[in-house]
Structure 1
Amino acid sequence: MATTKWNLDPTHSELGFKIKHMMISNVTGKFTQFDVTAETEDTDFSNAQVVANVDVASINTNNEQRDEHLRNADFFGTEAHPTMKFVSTKVEKIDEDTFTLHGDLTIKDTTKPVKLTVEDNGTATDPWGNVKAGFSISGKINRKDWGINYNAALETGGVMLGEELKIQGEVQLVKQA
């Protein structure tokens, strides 16, 4: 079988996250600059090799002051660690359209294994003849596993930020010639 290369369609893709704030609500955000590539056998993603690179400084929570804090050493330290990277290690088929994507996630020079749930939304050819594949991605990580430990105690008990970070993504890939 032939190896097929796929590149991100950035105008039809997004990468977001959600974290508990003050134990009562969630704050959401996104990374506006990221890249994903995949290699498959023909158009079969069941054994895909996936690499994603995220420009951490592109974080956007719709609050510039908070975004600057997230970029500093309390959180991501983007000057020293400008990129997060995910490299797949295995694809596990759950059912016809759902997979567990195993891989290594590197944040701030710390690499840990993660599992992401991937829903295969199918492939289609656009009006210009480009073959595209779409995926919905979700997962959870504990930010402290990557040394993102900042927090503040609340007067009422509890802490400002939860440890669990929920990952959400919509990724559209374009088959390369």
Structure 2
Amino acid sequence: MKKLLLAATLATLSALPVHAADYVIDTQGAHAFVQFKISHLGYSWLYGRFNTFAGDFSYDAADLTASKIQLTIDTNSIDSNHAERDKHLRGSDFLNVAKHPKATFVSTKVVAKAGDNFDLHGKLTLNGVTKEVVIAAEKIGEGQDPWGGYRAGFAGTTSFALKDFGINYDLGPASSTVFMELSVEGIKQ
């Protein structure tokens, strides 16, 4: 009788839906990055990153469409490896960090694609303007870490016109689009 009851209990538990797991993005261990590149006058690429950001996500491997992410970026932490340029980027010509110290991304929809790829739709708020963007993303992997935790990692890219976010400083048509690359590794909570 005990075996029958145990089998019935296990069958019931296995039939219950698996819910999304919650993760905090590992910024303390520097296992996450928010980077960008933009053409400099059409002659070269200018690369940079945001050094300070935080966020979390829910991930459901069984139902990817139930997954979501939110990210907050300290725009003052922009770092293009050039102090004078960073000062200009923080000013009113670009990020206007005195008025808009944070940028945010909040997902609104996940569309599964082939394999571990998906489109992450969401609202990006930058320079006080909110627009819908799509991040082409992929799951990199998930599993136990050496410290007894569980992690999941993702990478994604997107691009947008600076003018769409009220950034109208003219460096020519080759420099009107910024390309973003995000890499997040989350620790399961």
More divergent stretch after superposition (65-74 vs 38-47): 38-47
Q: Report the Cα distance in structure 2 between the residues aligned to 1:143 and 1:127, rounded to whole angstroms.
A: 41
Counterpart of 1:166 in structure 2 is: 179
- Does residue 1:17 correspond to 2:39, yes or no? no
Q: Report the Cα distance in structure 2 between the residues aligned to 1:77 and 1:58, rounded to whole angstroms.
A: 12
1:99-136 CA-to-partner distances (Å, cap 9, x unmatched) read 10000000122110000011101102111111101111
Counterpart of 2:188 in structure 1 is: 175
- Aligned pairs for 1:75-94 (under 5 A) are 75-94=94-113
Q: In structure 2, the residue corresponding to 1:12 is in which secondary structure?
A: coil
Q: Report the Cα distance in structure 2 between the residues aligned to 1:3 and 1:140, rounded to whole angstroms.
A: 28
**Change in CA separation of 1:135 and 1:42 when aligned onto 2, cut-off 3 Å:** closer
- 1:47 Cα shift? 2.2
| Cα RMSD after superposing both structures | 1.6
Which has the bigger relative contact order, CA under 8 A and spacing at least 6?
1
**Change in CA separation of 1:124 and 1:3 when aligned onto 2, cut-off 3 Å:** closer
What 5-or-longer segments of structure 1 have no aligned partner? 153-158
Greater strand share, structure number: 1
Q: Is the 8 A contact 1:4 1:43 kept in 2?
A: no
How many residues align? The count is 170
- 1:55 Cα shift? 0.3
Q: Report the Cα distance in structure 1 between the residues aligned to 2:100 and 2:22, rounded to whole angstroms.
A: 28
**Change in CA separation of 1:112 and 1:160 when aligned onto 2, cut-off 3 Å:** closer
Matched AA of 1:54:
I
Q: Report the Cα distance in structure 1 between the residues aligned to 2:109 and 2:73, rounded to whole angstroms.
A: 20
- Does residue 1:106 correspond to 2:125, yes or no? yes
- 1:43 Cα shift? 7.3
Q: In structure 2, the residue corresponding to 1:90 is in which secondary structure?
A: strand
**Change in CA separation of 1:44 and 1:32 when aligned onto 2, cut-off 3 Å:** farther
- 1:36 Cα shift? 2.0
Larger Rg: 2
Corresponding residue to 2:84 among 46, 65, 79: 65
- Aligned pairs for 1:123-134 (under 5 A) are 123-134=142-153
Corresponding residue to 1:97 among 97, 108, 116: 116
- Does residue 1:33 correspond to 2:52, yes or no? yes
Superposition TM-score, scaled by structure 2 size: 0.85
Superposition TM-score, scaled by structure 1 size: 0.90
Q: Report the Cα distance in structure 2 between the residues aligned to 1:170 and 1:45, rounded to whole angstroms.
A: 18
Percent sequence identity over aligned pairs: 34
Counterpart of 1:156 in structure 2 is: none
Q: Is the 8 A contact 2:155 2:184 kept in 1?
A: yes
Q: Is the 8 A contact 2:20 2:67 kept in 1?
A: no
Moved over 6 A (4+): none
